[in-house]
Every structure is written in C-alpha cells, then in structure tokens.
Structure 1
C-alpha cells in the first residue's frame, strides 16, 4: 500500500514538473500564434491522441448521460479553454514574477473549494504543507527579495492570472466528481474534446492560413510537446492522483511546477540558477512532503509525550 502511495506521488511530481515545461514551450509558440490559437492547436493534437488511447484502454466504457456531458463541458470550459487562454496571455505579456506566484496559489483555492463542495477534510498537514510550499515558491519567484512584491503592485494582467487560478481550481474540484464514475483517461479525453470545441471560434477569428504556413518549426515542436507530454501524459497522471489521494492533497504538488519552470529556464534559456532558487526549491519539496505525510506531526507529538 505504501509503495503504491509513493508511486502515485512520483506520478504527480512528474506530471506537475512536466507542466513547468509549458512555460518554456508557450513562450516559443506565442511568437508565431496568438494565445487562443496556441491553446487550440495544443488540444487539437491532444484530442487526436486521446480518443484512440481511450478506445484501446477503456474497453468497458460507461455511456455518458446528458448530465455527464454537461460536467465534461464544464471541465473543458474551465480547465482547458479559459485556463489556457489566460495562461498563454500571461506567458506572452506578464512578468514571470507575477504569473508564477498566481499559479502557485492554486492549491490554496483548491483545498478551500474541496472542503466546501466535496467535504474533504482540511488537515493541519495540508495547511502547513501549503504555507511552506508557498513560501518556497515566493522565494524562487522574487529571487529572495520578497518585499519586491509590494513595490510592483497590481496590474490589469493580474486579473487574467486570477481568472486562470479560479478556472483551474474549479477544474480540479469538478474533476473529482467526474472521476467517481469515469476513468482518468475518459475524463481527460472528454474534457479536452469540449475544450477544443470551445477554443475553435477564437482560433478561427485570430489566425489565418498564412500564419500557419509561416510558423517556425520550433513553434510546431513546442505545440507537439504540449499536446503529448504536458496534456496527454501529465493530465492523465494528475487526474489519477486526484482519484487516489483527493483533490486537496494532489493540489499541493502544483507547487512543483514553478520549481520545474525555473530549472528548465536555467537549462534551455540560460537563466541563472541562484541560491534563492535552491532555498526556495527546498521549501517547496518540504511543503509537498509535509502535506502528503499525514502521520509526520502525530509521530512527533507522540515521541514528545513519551519523552516527558
């Protein structure tokens, strides 16, 4: 049982670390296409892969009802269409210091919504883990100068980022409901299909065939990466993690994403990895460990009682 739990944690770390690469791929892709078009092409490619995968792996599929399709539509609208439009707008226009911080705040809202709507228990470990991880993320983003957040203040793009956070929180919570009936592959496939349909009108309005023809090869590689790894592989792993350990606990792993983004920026964009990045990464990983190990504080308390 414990071995399976650590396997799930490993899958969640891989999934959220892979999402960090979307920052790099997104920056490349938005040089040739507008945000909604990048999102549409990403999920169109993912749909082409997901449907055959679902047909091959899910032989005993349950036929979705009208209510089920409405839930899939909500998933597609929130976690696929709206979230990714906001994400790619932020990738194109927002400073990393702000976009990363807003996205890192996702777990806080997910835990709160899970407690309100799904009646999931919010434990002391969840809270301590989230706070510890959020401190680490803030340290990474500000390069150790946390007070700089106060100096920068808020801009219009911040509301776009806030919309992304709300959309992802709703996606995670509704996803937990859907997973009671459908597998992670089915849930991801239907959500991506609806999201792609919602994104199509935006792509048709903002993109011409000439834009498609003149797009650089690096743009297509970036979109392919987001379709295959960031979407298909990572989404299925994340959904499976939600099903096995709950939305609140799985959401803590989202803090791995900015750490991954920093490391990849260092490798692929030649950005400097500072001491603050290392300290922040340690806080993030510690927060994930605390938030997912429900017995850690109980053990310490019992040890202390025996000592006195």
Structure 2
C-alpha cells in the first residue's frame, strides 16, 4: 500500500513537472500562432492519440449516458477550453509574476471546493503543506523580491486570471466525480475531445491556412511536445493521482509546475538560477512532503500488547 502511494506521488510530481515545460514550448509556438489556435492544435493532436489509447486500455467499455456526456463536456469546457484561453491571454497581456502567482493559487481553491462539494477530509498537514509550497512558489516567481507583489494594482486582466484559476479548480473537482465511474484515460479522452470542439471556432476565427503553411518545423515540434507529453501522458497521470489520493491532496503537486518551469528556463533559455529560486525550491518540496503526510493512528494498548505477545 505504501509503495503504491509513493508511486502515485511520483506520477503526480512527473505530471506537474512536465506541465512546466509547456511554458518553454509555448514561447516557441506563440511565434507563429495565436493562443486559441495553439490550444486547438495541441488538443486535436492529443485527441487523435487518446482515442486509440482508450480503446486499447479501457477493458470495462462502459457506455456513457447523456448525463456522463454532460459531465465530460463540463470538463472539456473548464479544464481544456476556458483554462487554456485564459492562460494564454494572461501570458500575453499580464506580467509573468502576476499570472504565475494566480495559477499557483489553484490548490487553495481546489482544497476549498473539495471540502465543500466532495466532502474530502482536509487535514492540518494539507493546509500547512499548501501554505509552505505557495510561499516557495512566491519566492520563485518574484525572485525573492516579495515587495513586487504589493506594488501591483488591480487590472482588468485579473478577471481573466481568476477565470483560469476557477476553471482549473472546477476541472479537478468535477473530474473526481467522473473518476468514480471511469478510468483516468477515459475521463481525459472525453474531456480533451469536448475541449477541442469548444476551441475550434476560436481557432477558425484567428488563423488562416497560410499561417499553418508558414509555421516553421520547431513550432510543430513544440506543439507536438505539448500534445503528447504535456497533455496525453501528464493529464492521464494527474487524473490517476486524483482518483487515488483525492483532488485536494493531488492539487498540492501543482506547485511543482513553476519550479519545473524555472529549472527548464535555466537549462534551455539561458536564464539565471538565483538564491531565491533555491529557497523557493526547498519550500515547494517541503510543502509537498508535509501536505502528503497522513497521521498514523496508534494501535490500542490492548492490541499492542497482543501483538508483542504473539
């Protein structure tokens, strides 16, 4: 049981760390395409891979009801369409510090919604771990200059950022409901399919065939990476994690994403890894460790004596 738990934590860490690479790939793709188009091509490619994977892996072959399709549509609308449109818009028009911090606050809302609607038990360790990890993310994003946050005033783009946070929190919480009946592969496949449909009109409006023809090879490599690794592999692992440990605990691992993005930016974009990044990294890893710990219940004295005697 303990081994299976650590395997799940490993999958969640790998999934959210891989999401960090989307920031690097996105910087390449945005040179040729608009945000909605990148998201559409990314998820369309992911859907082409996910459906055959689902047919191979889904042994139960449960036929979705109309209500199930409604839930899948909600997943596609929130976690695929709205989240990605808001995320790319904020990346384009909001300071990186502000947009990253908003995204990093996701676990807070997920924990609250999980407690309210899923009746998940929110432990003291969950809250402490989440706060430590969020502190670490703040250090990473602001490069240790925390006063920068106080200098930022309210802007209209903040509504877009808030939309990204709310949509991903809903995606995680509704996903937990869907996972009671379906596997992580099935849930991800239908969510991506519906999300791709919702993104299609936006892609048609903002992109021409000429844009597609003129896109360089490295842009297609970046989008392919987001389709295969950031979407197919990571989304399935993240949903599997939610199914195993719950949406609240799984959400703590989202804090690994900005840490991963900073490390990859250092390796691939030549950005400097500072002391603040190191402090933030320690806080994030500590927060994830504390947040995933569960209190071990002591055996009653009588049982303990019996065990010693035997």
- Alignment partner of 1:68 is 2:74: no
2:91 corresponds to: 91
- Alignment partner of 1:202 is 2:202: yes
2:214 corresponds to: 214
- Alignment partner of 1:252 is 2:231: no
Instruction: Please state how far the C-alpha of 1:294 moved relative to its aligned partner.
Output: 1.4
1:231 corresponds to: 231
2:135 corresponds to: 135
Give the distance between the partners of 1:167 and 1:14, measured in 2 at CA.
22
TM-score normalised to structure 2 length: 0.94
2:43 corresponds to: 43
TM-score normalised to structure 1 length: 0.95
Residues 145-224 of structure 1 aligned to structure 2 (within 5 Å): 145-224=145-224
Give the distance between the partners of 1:167 and 1:259, measured in 2 at CA.
22
**3-state SS of 2:272 partner:** coil
CA contact 1:30–1:88 (8 Å) conserved in 2: no
CA contact 1:43–1:195 (8 Å) conserved in 2: yes
Which of the two has higher C-alpha Rg? Answer: 2
Instruction: Please state how far the C-alpha of 1:268 moved relative to its aligned partner.
Output: 1.0
CA contact 1:27–1:92 (8 Å) conserved in 2: no
The Cα offsets for residues 97-155 of structure 1, whole Å up to 9 and x where unpaired, read as: 11110110000000000001001111101110110000000011111111110112232
CA contact 1:105–1:165 (8 Å) conserved in 2: yes
CA contact 1:42–1:223 (8 Å) conserved in 2: yes
Instruction: List structure 1 segments (4+ residues) > 4 angstroms apart after TM superposition.
Output: none
Aligned residues: 298
The Cα offsets for residues 209-247 of structure 1, whole Å up to 9 and x where unpaired, read as: 001011121111111000000000000000000000000
The Cα offsets for residues 39-83 of structure 1, whole Å up to 9 and x where unpaired, read as: 000000000000000011113210000000000000000000000
1:58 corresponds to: 58
Give the distance between the partners of 1:292 and 1:43, measured in 2 at CA.
31
Give the distance between the partners of 2:95 and 2:219, measured in 1 at CA.
21
1:20 corresponds to: 20
Q: What runs of 5+ residues in structure 2 fail to find an aligned partner?
A: 299-310
2:292 corresponds to: 292
CA contact 1:80–1:196 (8 Å) conserved in 2: yes
